Amino acid sequence: MSELIFTPVIGIEIHIRLKTDTKIFCSCSTNTDVEPNTHVCPVCMGLPGSLPRLNHQVVEKGMLAGLALNCTVQPKSLFFRKSYFYPDLPKGHQISQCDLPIVAQGFIEVHDANGNLKKIRVNHLHLEEDVGSLHHSASDGRLEGAAISFVDYNRSGMPLAEIVSEPDVSSAKEAVEYVTTLRRRVIYSGASDVELEKGMMRFDANVSMKCSDGRWGRKVEVKNMNSFHALERAIEYEIKRQKKIMLSGGEILQETRHWNDAKGVTTASRVKEFYRKFIVEPDLPPLIIDQAWIDRVTSMMPEMPDVRAKRYVQDYKLPQEVADFLTDVKDLSDYFEACVKAGANPVRAAHWVRTEVLRVMNEKQIRKVADFGISPETLTNLIAKIDGGKLSTTQAKEVFDYMSANNCGIDEAVKACGISEGGVAGNMLEEIIKSVIAANPDVLDEIKSGRDTKGKKLKFLQGLVMKEVKGQAKPQEVSQTLEKILNA
DSSP class of residue 6? E
pLDDT > 90? residue 140: no
pLDDT of residue 396: 87
Closest CA relative to residue 66, chosen from 192, 231, 227: 192
> Residue range 64-81: average pLDDT?
97
Count of beta carbons in the 10 Å neighbourhood of residue 367: 10
- The upper half-sphere exposure of residue 258, i.e. CA atoms within 13 Å in the direction of its Cβ, equals 10
| Sequential DSSP letters for 245-262 | HHHTT-----EEEEEETT
Ramachandran angles phi, psi of 283, nearest 5°: -95, 0
Q: CB–CB of 423/469 below 8 Å?
A: yes
CA 341 to chain CA centroid, nearest Å: 24
| Sequential DSSP letters for 106-168 | EEEEEE-TTS-EEEEEEEEEEEEE---EEEE-STTS-STT-S-EEEEGGGTT-EEEEEEE-S-
Most confident of 59-68, 243-252, 357-366, 380-389: 59-68
426-487 maps to which CATH number?
1.10.10.410
Residue 290 burial by CB count (10 A; 0-12/13-18/19+): exposed, middle or buried? exposed
Strand partners, 9: 208
pLDDT > 60? residue 104: yes
E strand residue ranges, 18-79: 72-73, 76-77
Q: In this structure, which amino acid lies at residue 254?
A: Q
Residues 6+ positions from 252 with CB-CB distance below 8 Å: 208, 209, 217, 218, 220, 242, 245, 246
Q: CB–CB of 235/221 below 8 Å?
A: no
Strand partners, 225: 203
Determine the Cα angle at 358 with ends 352 and 363, to 5°.
130
Helix 305-316 × helix 320-328 angle, to 10° = 140
Cα separation, 473 vs 391, in Å, equals 8
pLDDT of residue 147: 82
pLDDT > 60? residue 364: yes
C-alpha distance from residue 10 to each of 116, 136, 213, 404 (Å): 18, 31, 19, 47
pLDDT > 80? residue 301: yes
Cα separation, 103 vs 47, in Å, equals 30
Percentage of the chain with pLDDT > 90?
61
Q: In this structure, which amino acid lies at residue 207?
A: V
pLDDT > 60? residue 334: yes
C-alpha distance from residue 376 to each of 305, 343, 412, 458 (Å): 20, 10, 18, 39
pLDDT of residue 477: 73
Cα separation, 323 vs 326, in Å, equals 5
Positive or negative, the CA dihedral 456, 461, 462, 466 is positive
Range scoring the smallest mean pLDDT among 39-48, 143-152, 341-350? 143-152
pLDDT > 60? residue 426: no
Q: CB–CB of 103/72 below 8 Å?
A: yes
Closest CA relative to residue 207, chosen from 167, 248, 247: 167
* Domain residue limits, the chain: 6-292, 303-416, 426-487
> Residue range 248-254: average pLDDT?
90
Range scoring the smallest mean pLDDT among 117-126, 148-157, 383-392, 438-447? 438-447
Q: CB–CB of 457/443 below 8 Å?
A: yes
> Residue range 349-357: average pLDDT?
95
Residue-wise pLDDT for 271-288, tens only, equals 766 555 789 999 999 999
Cα separation, 323 vs 344, in Å, equals 16
C-alpha distance from residue 369 to each of 164, 182, 307, 364 (Å): 32, 22, 22, 12
Closest CA relative to residue 10, chosen from 207, 163, 173, 179: 207
Q: CB–CB of 366/377 below 8 Å?
A: no
